[in-house]
Structure 1
């Protein structure tokens, strides 16, 4: 039996009081970070291969179905506003298309050829990386996608929560965060989903740092898409340059990013 489908360590959940339910979920959640810690060497190996490829113009492409697909879409969609990168530098592709983000699409994950067809809508180049995400490691959509990607010469990785899964066997860099039985049997949106989110955070954040999208500990290329981010950017410039708030604010708006504003200051105003 798959670990992700194994029986919960808890039973008669409907008879538990609310406090007990919350404490037991939390008890299980504490195991997730420890499971992720064990696979850091695997994550490291994958990232070491991704970065030089992206420096040559490659992209990072996540493919998944259901919760796994949604997590990939989430991570990808947050990269442009956070790091100021093009929308297609990190792509999240979900079985069933964008409508599947909100509503399950029947049988979408069962077609082993569809993921590659979905990737082709964005084109591909030899420096791209495809990471398949599937808690079970058995999703045909994901397995078929990484298999074809690897055949085409792309770098491939996977994020699963079962040991020795079929998906892991199809990629060069498998990551298997085995978190154990879910609090509700088979509900992999819980611990498995949390593990996948943690790993995706680690991958995209580390890649962006190594690509120079972070300076010190600041998101110097973030998009100024709302008042909060403009205020944050203004504070960053004040800290970096010693400018007063109003001057830093005007400089940020005129240059369009913290990085450009800071560079302009040191070139022309310091």
Structure 2
């Protein structure tokens, strides 16, 4: 399909006169369009769930979440990767965002970079891609050559490939193990896929990466237990997490956190099971460090 015929490139009849609307009507119109995003993403629930399950298996074997894309899609991948590090206490090398054209492309368009399939292959080779890795290819239009090249190389290596597009029957979907296609319709501003398409991609990435982290035991109930208490603010947050999940007093939470060498999950297990430090460590070892699996038995 020619670019001009893609859903993401069509003119939106609801915004034909957005340039002459009052500011409040402009805002309301864009808001109405944005409401369509969650519905479109919801049509892909089964595929997103499958992506989480398959990605979690690979990640637990040491695989990495590797995002590839160009322009807005590439920036969203870099953002998701970067945010996982402080949120879940993972090592930076476990979540990597690749954008066509390299770091400079985060701020300034790099001409021609997205049109090169070989460039993505080189970028993935530099990372020493392996079969345990997960490659998420993002392209609102569903046809970016950089993404196609990356997905093809990843499949050849045996890595899990997931595509995320905002058009039906996307080209990148033909090159992925799991094709997620949230069709959000024409943008309020024709072709400006940083809007609805970008929001949809961000929502999908939020679900996939969060789901993978949940399955790694990074969450207990609905709190982040791998927060690293490296300053007074974070120590206070860690103590509050322990207090709210165990019912222990603030002082008891603080004392147990110190005994557990600032390991929030370990402190929670100690308090919830009334175990010693070593006993709690042993329990966690039997469940690969997954607090929820230890306590929700």
What is the TM-score when the length of structure 1 is the normalising length?
Answer: 0.93
**Counterparts of 1:107-126 in structure 2 under 5 Å?**
107-126=112-131
Q: Is the 8 A contact 2:129 2:154 kept in 1?
A: no
1:261 aligned onto 2:283: no
SS at match of 1:221: coil
Give the equivalent residue in structure 1 for 2:6. Answer: 2
Q: Is the 8 A contact 2:88 2:213 kept in 1?
A: yes
Note the C-alpha offset of 1:247.
4.9
Give the equivalent residue in structure 1 for 2:19. Answer: 14
**Counterparts of 1:1-270 in structure 2 under 5 Å?**
1-9=5-13, 10-224=15-229, 227-249=232-254, 251-252=256-257, 255-263=261-269, 265=271, 266-268=274-276
Structure 1 segments unaligned to the other structure (5+ residues): none
SS at match of 2:91: coil
Q: Is the 8 A contact 2:129 2:157 kept in 1?
A: no
Greater mean deviation of Cα atoms: 157-166 or 100-109: 100-109
Note the C-alpha offset of 1:11.
1.4
SS at match of 2:137: strand
Q: Is the 8 A contact 2:130 2:157 kept in 1?
A: no
Q: Distance in 2 between matches of 1:234 and 1:160?
A: 41
Q: Distance in 2 between matches of 1:57 and 1:94?
A: 23
1:51–1:120: structure 2 CA closer, same or farther, 3 Å change rule?
A: same
1:226–1:267: structure 2 CA closer, same or farther, 3 Å change rule?
A: same
1:44–1:224: structure 2 CA closer, same or farther, 3 Å change rule?
A: same
Greater mean deviation of Cα atoms: 238-247 or 123-132: 238-247
Measured against aligned partners, the alpha-carbon deviations of 1:80-139 in whole angstroms (never above 9, x if no partner) come to: 211111112121111111222222222221111111211222222211111100000111
Q: Distance in 1 between matches of 2:75 and 2:230?
A: 23
Q: Is the 8 A contact 2:117 2:147 kept in 1?
A: yes
